[in-house]
Amino acid sequence: MTRAPVTIFACFSIFYLVLTQYCRHANYRDPTSKFFDPARAYERKYTVKRIQEADAFIQSAALLPTEPALSAHAPVMCIGVATIETLANKVLGYKKTDIAHVKEWEDGGWYRNRSIFDYTYLLNDCYATAARYIAMIEDDTLAVEGWYPRALLALAHVEKQMEYRAGMQWVFLRLFYAEDLFG
């Protein structure tokens, strides 16, 4: 009577296979998972759609009759984008004395120095606007529609949580997370 163990083994094998397939399907994009599959994880399904949306947005922005009026109040959020070209309200350039530094860093491959310098520049300028929040965004970021109200909701949530943590302060909220930034 060896039937029962064989049946149990067969059932277990089928269950195991189904479970493995499920995990492969559910976790192939998760870099922390054993089932992470780089060949499929980087398929650009999501990105292609976001690029189309961004293109449509930029085209519709070009149809606006005038530049939107700037408010007299301090902005809720100052968005700093470290890039060469920008469509923002204000475009920052380097001072003459800084250009020599930037060139030295670029020629010498001191990219980290250059980034730190750029971010310091942007942070200082955003700080000067007296905005309540400062968002630092990479120039290759594709934002999903509605990211701004969602970010504000998340910030409100953080501030609510902080009410229960007397004596503690929060510094930043990470909006976009790429796995190569782990650690």
Ligand X SMILES: *[C@@H]1O[C@H](CO)[C@@H](O)[C@H](O)[C@H]1NC(C)=O
DSSP state, residue 144:
P
Residue from 110, 121, 133, 147 in contact with ligand X (CB under 6 A): 110
In the bound state with ligand X, the residue whose beta carbon lies nearer, of 110 and 147, is 110
Cβ-based nearer residue to ligand X, 96 or 174: 96
Residue nearest to ligand X (CB): 113
Contact window for ligand X (CB under 6 A) among 8-16, 56-64, 91-99, 104-112:
104-112
114/126 with CB nearer ligand X: 114
Quick one: which of 114, 95, 93 has its CA closest to 103?
114
Q: In this complex, which beta carbon is closest to ligand X, that of residue 58 or of residue 116?
A: 116
Q: How far is the CB of 110 from ligand X (least distance, A)?
A: 5
> Minimum distance between the CB of residue 113 and ligand X, rounded to whole angstroms?
4
- Least distance in angstroms from the C-beta of 108 to ligand X: 5
Helix, strand or coil, per DSSP, at residue 136: strand
> What Cα–Cα distance (Å) separates residue 170 from each residue in 76, 158, 174, 183?
17, 8, 12, 19
- Under the criterion CB under 6 A, does residue 119 sit at the interface with ligand X? no
Please choose, from the candidates 169, 136, 138, 175, the residue with its C-alpha nearest in 3D space to the C-alpha of residue 153.
Answer: 175
Helices (runs of H) and strands (runs of E) counted in the chain: 6, 2
- Is 117 a binding residue for ligand X by CB under 6 A? The answer is no
Q: Looking at the chain, how many residues does it have?
A: 183
Distance of alpha carbon 69 from alpha carbon 155, whole angstroms: 26
Cβ neighbors of 54 (< 8 A, separation 6 or more) are 142, 143
Task: Choose between 33 and 113: whose C-beta lies nearer to ligand X.
Answer: 113
- Report yes or no: 139 and 82 within 8 Å, Cβ to Cβ: yes
Q: How many residues bind ligand X (CB under 6 A)?
A: 5
| 113 sits near ligand X (criterion: CB under 6 A) | yes
Query: Which residues of this protein are in contact with ligand X, per CB under 6 A?
Result: 104-105, 108, 110, 113
